[in-house]
Amino acid sequence: MKRLLILLLFICYGISNAADVPLFRANSKEFGYDAIDIDVEEIARGEQTSTLHIRGFHSRSAFGSRWLMCSYTALATQRGFQSWRAYYPLAPDENLLLIFPASETDDLSTLSGQQLDKARLVPSAPFDKMLAFCSKVLAK
């Protein structure tokens, strides 16, 4: 129950920020994770995409990577999507493209409006499993 509450708070945090500023924002320290310092800020939004500036993206830890995956899941939920694909930036760029396909057959290059290097694409797990995973990751 505690895990579910933490996940809901994470999602609501993004939604409450969206009411003040229409774009998503999350900071690991504001959630009480002092061991990591990751700031996620949505800087642009397309119909099925979001561009995120992630301070510390290339120096993140394994736990930081998992926290980011939960941020992507929270943003997808906030926007009404049930899957995401992350297009990783090349160092030193810290702007990540998040794509929200409606199905497995959607052409991600078409959705993003650019030719994508498939080696830099990271899929999410099935959404229900991602939500369950995030409830465990976000529980302290």
Structure tokens that stand for 140 in this block: 């302290």
What is the enclosing helix (H) or strand (E) of 96?
Answer: strand 95-99
Whole-number Å distance between alpha carbons of 39 and 50? 15
Domain that holds residue 20: 2-137
pTM of the model: 0.81
Q: How many domains does the chain have?
A: 1
Residue 113: which region, alpha, beta or left (left: phi > 0; alpha: psi -120 to 50)? Answer: left
pLDDT of 14 higher than 70: no
- Interval 84-104: pLDDT, tens: 999 999 999 999 999 999 999
What angle, rounded to 10 degrees, do the helices at 62-79 and 127-137 form? 130
The amino acid sitting at 128 is D
Whole-number Å distance between alpha carbons of 78 and 72? 10
Phi then psi dihedrals of residue 105, to 5 deg: -90, -5
- Interval 98-133: pLDDT, tens: 999 999 999 999 999 999 999 999 988 899 999 999
